[in-house]
Amino acid sequence: MVLILVAVALMLLLAVTGLAIDCSRILVTRGIAQGRLDAAALAAVLELDGTRQGIDRARQAAALAAGGLLDNLKVEFAAEPGSAWEETPRSPALFRFARVSAFIRVRLTMLRTIVQKEATEFRAVATGAQQPQSPLPPDVIPDQKSLSRRLSEDTDFTARSYAEYAARGRGNGRRIVPSPEGARFILPASAPAAIPSTEPIGAYLQGSRWKGAGESGYLTAVLLR
């Protein structure tokens, strides 16, 4: 009787230990994979500039940031979070959202005999976006409210050129942006610079060599949860 009890208890104990070990491995792998996907989504978003080349660059940047861990990476793009996600957008002009997903496979060790499976699989997803920002840091212009109002008055989200922007009669013809100098963003220390009339409308994407997609003003790449 005692022998049977011990055998049953030992089997249960081993099964629970196996469950704990395999679950912990799944959790650690999930954490690592999510970190890589987050980086991939941000890397993709930083490349989006409203062109097909931008989409290609975004796909390559995502694959590079994800590393070898994720070999079945899927990169999709959207103009708005609620709209359809497309792997190859036909007209990528306003696409400023990137969603990166992958199926993560974790080999089972202790649970293999119980669940009769070699490995378990789950899908991990990360979404990044180009988000409009105030053009200057708070310490340069302390009054954020008036700055936000000024930005909303002066910003035309769909104009593709300065001429189009001016023809629509929105704003006052001048907008405050950081001055991009080559690949660098040099923030003006004192007075903000106005865009010259020849400057095409397009969003400056902080941390990127490219102008952002589909917005005007000043963008930054963020992760959406």
Binding site for other proteins (CB under 8 A): 2, 6, 13, 17, 20-21, 24, 27-28, 31-32, 35, 38-39, 42-43, 46, 61, 65, 137, 178, 183-187, 206-209, 220-221, 223
Distances (CA, A) of 94 to 66, 97, 112, 130: 25, 9, 47, 11
Amino acid at 198: T
* Residue closer to other proteins (CB basis): 9 or 115: 9
Compute the least distance from the CB of residue 184 to other proteins, in Å: 6
In the complex with other proteins, the residue whose CB is nearer, 152 or 179, is 179
Shortest gap between Cβ of 182 and other proteins (angstroms)?
8
109: left (phi over 0), alpha (psi -120 to 50) or beta: alpha
Report in angstroms how near the CB of residue 157 gets to other proteins at its nearest.
21
Nearer to other proteins (CB atom), residue 17 or residue 72: 17
Q: How far is the CB of 163 from other proteins (least distance, A)?
A: 30
User: 104-114 burial, b for 16+ CB within 10 Å, e for fewer?
Assistant: bebebebbeee
185 close to 137: Cβ distance less than 8 angstroms: no
If the CB atoms of residues 145 and 184 are measured against other proteins, the closer one turns out to be 184
Place of tokens 């040099």: 186
CB of 29 vs other proteins, minimal distance in Å: 10
State which residue, 95 or 218, has the beta carbon closest to other proteins.
218
Q: Are 40 and 77 in contact (CB under 8 A)?
A: no
What is the distance, to the nearest Å, from the Cα of residue 10 to the centroid of all Cα atoms in its chain?
Answer: 48
